[in-house]
Each structure stands twice: as C-alpha cells, then as structure tokens.
Amino acid sequence: MGGKEAEASKPRGLFWWLIVLIIGALVVTTAVLTILRDFHYFKKNRPPSHPISKKYADALEIALQFFDIQKSGKLVGNRISWRGDSGLQDGSEGNLDLSKGMYDAGDTMKFGFPMAFTATVLSWAILEYGDQMNSVKQLAYAQNSLRWITDYLINAHPSESVLYIQVGDPEVDHKCWERPETMSERRPLIQVNTSFPGTEVAAETAAAMASASLVFKKIDPDYSNSLLTHARQLFTFADTFRGSYSISVPQVQKFYNSTGYGDELLWAASWLYHATQEESYLRYVTELNGKNFANWESPTWFSWDDKLAGTQVLLSRINFFGVKEMSTVENLCLQLYRKTAEAIMCGLLPDSPTATSRRTDGGLIWITEWNSLQHPMASAFLAIIYSDYMLTSQTETLYCSGNSYKPEDLRKFAISQADYVLGTNPMKISYLVGYGSSYPQYVHHRGASIPADADTGCKDGFRWLSSDDPNPNIAFGALVGGPSLNDSYLDSRKNVKQGEPSTYNTALIVGLLSGLLTTSSVAKSYP
C-alpha cells in the first residue's frame, strides 16, 4: 500500500509544482510589463533627451519678457525695471476688477478679442511644448503670463451672458502718447450681451478658458474647474445668441473687425472637446456644424480673425491619435479636417506643387503689409505642431499633389521662418527686439519710448514719439510688425505698419520657438 500511495502522490506533486511555476511566471510577466509600461511612460513624459538649441532657447527667454512689459495692474514679481503698476482702476465703471490683462500693442488699450487669442495660442504652446519650456526654465514664466490674462478674462465675465470685451476708448487713447503708469484718461468699458451679442469674441474667450483649463488641470485643479465653467457658459452664450460683435459694437471695426464667427465657434468647441472629452462638442464640430463653418479643403491663414487653420490642425490630432467611440459621420468629418490641414501644410512647403507664392524673395511667408510677421509665425507654429503629430503617430509621409514629404520638411520650413525673424534675412536684422546684435531701436511702443522717470501727460509725451533718439527702454521680446514684401524695414517710431509689436504675435513666436528647442518632440496627451 505504501508504494502505491507514493506513486499516486507524484502526479499531485507535479500538478502543484506546475501551478507554482505558472503563478511565478505570471508574477514575473506582470512585473516585466509594469516595468516596461513605466519605462514607456517616463520615456514619453520625461524632459526632452535631444540637445537643446541655445539659439532658440535664448530667443524664447527674451520673447517671454514682452508679456511682462504688456502687463496691466498691480505687478507681482516685476522683472521689467521701467514698468510699474498701471490700470488699477480699470473696470471700476462696472464695479469690476479689470486691472489685470495685457495691453494690446504699443498703446494702452485692452481689446478682449486678440487678448483671448493670445491666451489660447499660449495655452496650446504650453500643452504641446511645456516639457521643452521647463527644460530651459521658462515654463513658469509662460504659465504666469497665461494666468495674468485668464484672471482678467474671468473677471470680465461676471454673468453667464455678459462679457466685457474692451477697456479704454481707442479714439482717446491714440490721441495721447504717455506711459501706462501715468495715464489719467477715462477708461470706459464695452460689453456684449443677449441684446448686443458678440459670438466671435465670446467663443474665442471660451476657447481661451477651455485650453487654459487643461494647462492648469494638474497644478491648480480648482482654478482649472473655474476656467472650464466659464468656458462652457461662454460657448453656450456665443452659440445661442449668434451675432457678430462688429455689428453689435460698430466702433471695433476700425481696430479688430471680425470677418465672421463660424471659425470661432468651431475653435471653441474643439478646445472644449479636448478639455472635457464630451461627445457633444465633437458632434458640434463634425455633423452639426462642420459643413456650414469648416470650409473644408479650402486652406486659410491662421490669425486673430480666422481660426479655421488652427482648428483643422487641432482636430487632426484626434484623427492622428484616435478616440474610443465615434460615429461614421464624425470620423468622415474629422478626415476632412485633416485633409484640409494637409492642404495647408502643402501650401507652406516651398517646393510643393501647391506651394503658395505669397512670400518674399528672402523666403518669408508674406500676406499683409500691416503686421506682416503674424502670418509666417502662425504658419510656422502650425507646421511644427503638425510635424510632431506625424512623428508621434509614425506617419512618415505627407502627399502634396503626388509629391511626398516628411515631417522633417515641415520642421525645415518652420526653422526657415524662425531664422528669418532672428536675423537670417536680407536686412540682417533681428525682428525680435533684444535678440542678437542688431534689432529695431525705434519700436512704436509708448512705454519703451518714454524714460521711466519722465513726468508727462497725454499731449506733451508726443515729443518722445518725434524724438530722433533711440528708445530709452528696450522692449525685450517685442516682435515688431515686420518687413515689406521686398524684405525692407524702416526703423522709425512713426512707422506703425512695420514697427508696432503686438501681444498675440509674441504668443505665436513663443509657441514656435518652444517647438524648435529640440530636433523633434513627442506630441503630448493633454491632461
């Protein structure tokens, strides 16, 4: 009996040993998979391992300073010696605190439409290239500048269907030449509401709030939630009470006239989709309104007035990286957005069969004589983002009328535009003030043109506008309007077309430079 029992126990022992081995193998496999997953995660999210370009890092550090120059309000941690507190009573006529925000350009106006665009572009730059910014110690400055604007936008939206869109009277403002610290003129407020709607400005502000909510989602969840609440309300207001602010508020036509609001509605809904992952916003930009507003397969130029190109690139991200659940119609519409984005990229590549001829002999994209650098900076920013989407999704080829191009070709185009601005141009001048050895000395900017200790009022400050002396204060980071079609530039304070910087131009070049800090970048999943 003893022998039989021993023989019978062998299979049972072997069985248990097999179980132990299987369990052990599962444990080891799980451990290995965890290690690989964590390795992939850290590889994906660690700071860029590619060498940092010192040229673009130096330019980025300078560019971000212009946001500090443009700040209104009680300055905190001020790093611009010739700037001080200003606009402290802004908003008081409406019992609001609108002291923050940023001045639009070389004046002391706060225009909500381009300011919100500045915030949206800056948010996008941080979301895509925050790691690179952080690696050169510039991320905190970008985040702080963004928050300076969104703090203002929150206060400018005191109720669901009321948005204050302007502080100051441009007619009065432009009759003065004075530092913002000494201005004493009345600062009236303009709002849009259900009786006087402003779909484009409300929608752009919603886009700014939604995109910024993603930036602050992990570092300040409460603030992020507040931004998202405002974004939802503003989008509902913009969409429910459709009407152009250029019609409701005719006086804005002289400065930031809108050519339509369909693009802003799509732009805002696209950002709200990314911020919430709610299918209703995806459906809004596809089957509900894509056909009416998207202008598919007709490339346009990205700017403060036209957001279609930006929307098409942003929605291409969904097509590149997928979404769990999507209807057939939604998928088809997203393909059309991406197809249009591809057409935009093909137009930018200089040797593409469909390349735009709208460039200078020096190679700069050139669309308009006023603020000519806006469009090349916007185009290059979109190109660098699209290039990184292709790289991350392992999309090797972009086809342009039968010719094939690589992500590197888009990056090369973006570099050409950035380098032109930084000095590789026929004038051999840097259009980014403070960068390089040669840059504009007579920037059309009040604060930069008047000594910080000068005691001037509205009218007597004009002597500084007419002065033959260079600006006493350097407007670090100011991206001036830019060259003419023949690549020429006249450095004069009175040359407003070419010499006035704008805050939104700075956001565009900040995004571009951040994308160029390394030789390539992994597209990030938004928080």
Q: Is the pLDDT of residue 42 over 80?
A: no
3-class secondary-structure state, position 482: coil
**DSSP at 343:** H
444 is known as an active-site residue: yes
Full DSSP string of 435-452 = SSS---SS-S-HHHHS-T
What pLDDT is attached to residue 50? 76
Convert the pLDDT of each residue in 86-95 to its tens digit.
999 999 999 9
Convert the pLDDT of each residue in 188-202 to its tens digit.
999 999 999 999 999
Half-sphere CA count of 350, side-chain side, radius 13 A: 17
The residue count of the chain comes to 527
Higher pLDDT, 411 or 29: 411
Best CA proximity match to 299, nearest among 349, 341, 354: 341
What pLDDT is attached to residue 26? 47
3-class secondary-structure state, position 189: strand
What pLDDT is attached to residue 6? 43
**What single-letter amino acid sits at 478?**
A
**Could you give the CA distance from residue 292 to residue 311 in angstroms, rounded to a whole number?**
14
Q: Is the pLDDT of residue 24 over 80?
A: no
Choice among 46-60, 220-234, 438-452, 505-519 with the minimum mean pLDDT:
46-60
**Could you give the CA distance from residue 387 to residue 521 in angstroms, rounded to a whole number?**
9
pLDDT band at 16 (very low <50, low <70, confident <90, very high): low
What pLDDT is attached to residue 432? 98
3-class secondary-structure state, position 514: helix
CB atoms within 10 A of CB 467: 14
What pLDDT is attached to residue 258? 97
Q: Is residue 155 within 8 Å of residue 129, measured between CB atoms? A: no
What pLDDT is attached to residue 457? 87
Q: Is the pLDDT of residue 48 over 50?
A: no
Q: Is the pLDDT of residue 9 over 90?
A: no
Q: Is the pLDDT of residue 14 over 70?
A: no
CB atoms within 10 A of CB 321: 12
- 110 pairs with which residues across the strands? 167
Q: Exactly one of 157, 375, 444, 445 is catalytic; name it.
A: 444
**Could you give the CA distance from residue 274 to residue 143 in angstroms, rounded to a whole number?**
19
What pLDDT is attached to residue 7? 43
| Structural tokens at position 230 | 């405002």
Residue 73 sits at φ, ψ, to 5 deg, of 100, -165
3-class secondary-structure state, position 312: helix
What pLDDT is attached to residue 34? 38
Q: What is the mean pLDDT of residues 161-177?
A: 96
Supply angle C-alpha 281, 284, 285, rounded to 5.
Answer: 100
| Structural tokens at position 452 | 């910080």
Q: Is the pLDDT of residue 525 over 50?
A: yes
CB atoms within 10 A of CB 219: 10
**Could you give the CA distance from residue 397 to residue 35 in angstroms, rounded to a whole number?**
33
Q: What is the mean pLDDT of residues 330-335?
A: 96
Q: Is residue 448 within 8 Å of residue 80, measured between CB atoms? A: no
Supply the Cα-derived Rg of the chain in whole angstroms: 26
**Could you give the CA distance from residue 436 to residue 320 in angstroms, rounded to a whole number?**
38
Convert the pLDDT of each residue in 67-125 to its tens digit.
999 999 999 999 999 999 999 999 999 999 999 999 999 999 999 999 999 999 999 99
Q: Is the pLDDT of residue 254 over 50?
A: yes
Best CA proximity match to 102, nearest among 80, 124, 132: 80
Mean pLDDT of the residues in the chain:
92
Q: Is the pLDDT of residue 45 over 50?
A: no
Best CA proximity match to 258, nearest among 266, 246, 243: 246
What pLDDT is attached to residue 44? 42
Q: Is the pLDDT of residue 17 over 60?
A: no
What pLDDT is attached to residue 21? 54
**Could you give the CA distance from residue 83 to residue 399 in angstroms, rounded to a whole number?**
50
CB atoms within 10 A of CB 99: 20
Percent of the chain with pLDDT strictly greater than 90: 87
CB atoms within 10 A of CB 412: 15
* Packing angle, helices 199-215 and 262-276, rounded to 10: 20
Q: Is the pLDDT of residue 522 over 90?
A: no
What pLDDT is attached to residue 46? 42
Q: Is the pLDDT of residue 237 over 60?
A: yes
**What single-letter amino acid sits at 16?**
W
Domains contained in the chain, CATH given: 62-516 (1.50.10.10)
Residue 333 sits at φ, ψ, to 5 deg, of -65, -40
